[in-house]
Structure 1
Amino acid sequence: MLPPRAIAEVRSPLSDGEWHRLHPLTPVLRGGLFLIVVTGFVVANLRDRIIALIFPGFDDWESYEQDPVDYVLTNNLVLVAGLVVLGVLLLLFAIFWLSWRFHTFRITGDDVEVRSGVFFRTHRRAPLDRVQGVNLTRPMVARLLGTAKLEVVGAGLDANVKLEYLSTANAEAVRADILRLASGRRLAEAQEARAGASGDAPGRTRAAAGIVSAGISGLIDGVDDADDLEPASVVHIPSGRLIASHLLSGSSLWLLALIGGVITGAVFATPWILFTLVPMVIAFGAYWFRKITRALRYSIAPTRSGVRITFGLFTTITETLPPGRVHAVEVYQPVLWRRFGWWAIRVNRLSGRSASDSQALQQAEVLPVGTAADAEQVLRLLLPALDDDAIAALFADGLLGSARQPGDPFATTPRRARWLRPLSWRRNGALLAPPVLLLRHGVLRRTLVILPLARLQSARISQGPVDRALRLANLTGHTVLGPVSGSLGVIDRDDALDVWERTAAAVVSASAADRSHRWDASSEAVEKEETA
């Protein structure tokens, strides 16, 4: 059971600390692939008879010599076949029912727990203070049936806890409850209650101030119930821009290069090689279609529980990224986007999945394509510690700047090593600008990597034999695994050493002052809990 104070926080009857079962249609939705395979097998065996029923003029009866239906009818086995089919259906129903019956979950004040399995039991637990995010996934079939899949993202590989499936209303309410319980609000209230009960005047003063502050915040940010509604997106991506951005991506250049190679081979070798163009175009078309449909209906908006990102046309995924869960941010611009002023943003954060997982890569793209204004809006959501002047400096110096500009603050590649970076040596640079470390590189593909110091795992400086001869060094900021790389090479040794030493000191200070893991608790409450 949840304590009375925690029960007051939750809004769904499924979050009361007791064991509950999932939606009754869960076995059907989870076993949908198996049913599709079985249906495909039956249709493949009866396709000729189905064609005959649809087209009565069809009279190619030779194909029915091995038809199972003809065999059953000819040998008068209709009753036996009916009993077999009924037995198979009953067996499937029993398996699905047992799977649903023994699959339960509960949400306590400390964990989200799931128990499953009939013969081989599994018990999984996700501590609320380690929750990295909560994803709400609605596949097409599940949307038609009014259900959704909830995934609590843990802090390790394969650490996610899935609740599949719940009704859409219950899934949204449970998601809000999990984020509310993980926010640290109970910790702050408990500290205030203890201070008030002990007769501590300063404690009562802080409690009263907290109530007044909460009321003012409610007027500004909206009441808690506002989180249950779909927030308005701060960025709108037109479908035309999204389609054009994929057609102007690096994969398009690869396709053009392959087509040119095939045509050259057909001219100078054998013309049969032209037949490879058809499957090649089909493969690239399927790839673009999948990428575009996954990015359609994109929205990103702030909530009290973090940044809420929604995307997907057929399968809709809504993920809530709590504050302090962003470990690295990369803003980049491919060369073909430069004329239109488009940018994209992706992040590193713990997703509970392999770094090469397609869904993890998809969820890393927090802005598929947008204007400079769109990118600034998203950066403000992801990096709330940066003010407007710092965001503007990111674009002026980090994304568009280079050593050619007077007063460039970045430590860049020296002229003696420009042959190692013939195109990008003026842009290749690092800058410590607390609370972040900035790494800038690329000319054809402009890139700026932003590493929040509070999330940085370690910083490394290294040299190879060529680096030592030219007094150069490589700087690396280590974060959780993801598509964003924190490596920067070929910068002056003394500059790299200076940035590395100052970064090491700044990381300690930023980590000590960081309270984003309990984003709805006061800093005093968190400090008391950590001291205890």
Structure 2
Amino acid sequence: MPGPPPVEEPRQRLHPLSPALHGAKSLAVVVAGLSWSTLSRVGFGWFAVLVGVLALGATVLAVISWYNTGYHVVGRELRVHEGLLWRRTRAIPLERLQAVEVVRPLLAQLTGLAELRLEVVGGGRTEAPLAYLGVAEATALRERLLVVAGRTSGTPEAAPPTADQPPAPPPTGHRLHTVRNVDLLVSQLLTPQAFLLPFGVAFVVAQFLSEGSWSFIAVASTVTAMAGVVLQPVRRVLDDWGFRLDRDADILRVRNGLLETRAQTVPLDRVQTVGVTWPLLWRMKGWLRLRLEVAGYSGGEPDDRNRPDRLLPVGDLSTGERIVAEVLPGVWLGALPLTPPPPRARWLRPLSRAAIGAGLDDRVFAARSGLLTRQLSIVPYARIQSVRVTQGPAQRRLRLATVHADTAGGAGAVAHDRDVAEAWALAAELTARAQQARRADGRRRR
């Protein structure tokens, strides 16, 4: 006999200031979209009128959209209602929920608001971004959804908090690491963009002196081009400012950001690959960077800041080893058994043969590559979805082959240019270990 239907709570609206924030974002997009040449053709007065009309229209649309947008939890689903001309309702099964992120852009911080972003298994992009909610409401809803999804302990059917009953603080674990902002700044100074910037400035100055005088359009275009050069390292500093990594049971909690703060959760059982990177200029200080590939997160996000793959923006080897051991228990970064390809592989990789390698640990498969920027991919056997052996024309002549260990979260790990017999033996061993690890993982879950 079927049970009673789930209780449907009242539909909740977003914060009343949401249209104003969306209108401000639209204004920034409009101003950025109108080029310097438009300003020079129409003049400042008409340019301001054009920007004002477009911003007003965007704000009106944002108000109408806010009026038709709402959300509520029905049983084990989050339902989001939205749409202007065509209304639609999205039902998100919380069993597929991987994480909920609380994001606070600069305007949201100034107004005391936050944005909630959901990541689900198989999603093409971030699902159901609720922008914007009050900070207390966003935090409470985030914890409630994680409880219903089974990611944290608690009472799944707890009612949403009221004004008289503030939400309980999120569970706290132990701190794994806090990145020093000084190290973050220095790490971005040790990038090709930072080293090439003085040469770019010198070139601009030389051009200006040789031309005698520049027009406003020329100056503005040059400044815009220079800003594009330094944008990436500056954005990384702003994104990773105050980076903190905590562990709460089987969940990693990441907080970072200066102008836009983020509070992210990463379930350890969804980690597919741990990536380690040693940029060329960082090696003089012994620094590295750690990143994750997590099942359920969209690899097609246009903005990589929406992907919660940061594990350590910058740190030394001992810190990296300690964090890797927390994410992959029993794995020691400095003791992975990596062996190089055979000597004849130097015909394909005359400079980088000594830098690449691969090997089988008791719990993971590891593969290293790169010459100037060294990269190491670590894949637990239980996360391997398929194993492939590929050969190119040159590899066939040299009796070499490449072994790919694919995962659900991304590229996995690749062992380049192994001996053919070794490659097939490695593929067979990876397949056997992956099947055994998945069976053991299934028994633990039961």
User: Which bin holds the TM-score, normalised by the shorter protein?
Assistant: 0.7 to 0.9
Alpha carbons 2:26, 2:58 under 8 Å: kept? no
Structure with the higher fraction of residues in helix conformation: 1
Matched, 1:114 2:80: yes
Rounded to whole Å, the distance in 1 between the matches of 2:283 and 2:47 is: 61
Q: Deviations over 1:147-166 (max 9, x none)?
A: 11111101221351222221
17, 21, 24: which one aligns with 1:25 = 17
Q: Which entry has the higher C-alpha Rg, 1 or 2?
A: 1
Per the TM alignment, residue 233 of structure 1 is displaced from its structure 2 partner at its CA by 3.6
Aligned to 1:243: 185
1:93-492 matches, within 5 Å, as: 98-155=64-121, 156-158=123-125, 160-183=127-150, 228=170, 233-252=175-194, 280-304=225-249, 306-350=251-295, 352-355=297-300, 357-360=302-305, 363-383=308-328, 386-387=329-330, 390-391=331-332, 394-397=333-336, 409-480=337-408, 482=410, 486-492=413-419
Q: Deviations over 1:327-363 (max 9, x none)?
A: 2111111121112111101122246545362234764
Gaps of 5+ in 1: 8-15, 41-62, 70-84, 190-224, 398-408, 516-522, 528-532
Aligned to 1:45: none
Per the TM alignment, residue 101 of structure 1 is displaced from its structure 2 partner at its CA by 3.3
Per the TM alignment, residue 314 of structure 1 is displaced from its structure 2 partner at its CA by 0.7
Q: Which has the higher contact order (CA 8 A, sep 6+)?
A: 1
Alpha carbons 1:134, 1:152 under 8 Å: kept? yes
Aligned to 2:441: 514
Rounded to whole Å, the distance in 2 between the matches of 1:295 and 1:120 is: 39
Q: Deviations over 1:184-232 (max 9, x none)?
A: 789999xxxxxxxxxxxxxxxxxxxxxxxxxxxxxxxxxxx99616656
TM-score for both structures, normalised by structure 1 = 0.67
Rounded to whole Å, the distance in 1 between the matches of 2:48 and 2:145 is: 53
Rounded to whole Å, the distance in 1 between the matches of 2:275 and 2:266 is: 16
Q: Deviations over 1:104-126 (max 9, x none)?
A: 11224422221112431121222
Gaps of 5+ in 2: 33-42, 157-166
| Cα distance change of structure 1 residues 67 and 352 upon mapping to structure 2, 3 Å threshold | closer
Per the TM alignment, residue 479 of structure 1 is displaced from its structure 2 partner at its CA by 2.6
Secondary structure of 1:374 counterpart: helix
2:377 aligned partner, one-letter code = V
Rounded to whole Å, the distance in 2 between the matches of 1:258 and 1:173 is: 49
| Cα distance change of structure 1 residues 38 and 413 upon mapping to structure 2, 3 Å threshold | closer
Rounded to whole Å, the distance in 1 between the matches of 2:94 and 2:306 is: 24
Rounded to whole Å, the distance in 1 between the matches of 2:286 and 2:60 is: 58
Alpha carbons 1:160, 1:352 under 8 Å: kept? no
Aligned residues: 410
| Cα distance change of structure 1 residues 507 and 109 upon mapping to structure 2, 3 Å threshold | farther
Aligned to 2:159: none
Rounded to whole Å, the distance in 2 between the matches of 1:362 and 1:128 is: 19
Alpha carbons 2:357, 2:368 under 8 Å: kept? yes
| Cα distance change of structure 1 residues 256 and 412 upon mapping to structure 2, 3 Å threshold | farther
Rounded to whole Å, the distance in 2 between the matches of 1:65 and 1:471 is: 70
Rounded to whole Å, the distance in 2 between the matches of 1:470 and 1:34 is: 57
Percent identity (aligned) = 30
RMSD of aligned residue pairs (Cα, Å): 4.1
Rounded to whole Å, the distance in 2 between the matches of 1:39 and 1:257 is: 30
| Cα distance change of structure 1 residues 133 and 335 upon mapping to structure 2, 3 Å threshold | same
Structure with the higher fraction of residues in strand conformation: 2
Secondary structure of 2:347 counterpart: coil
Per the TM alignment, residue 434 of structure 1 is displaced from its structure 2 partner at its CA by 4.0
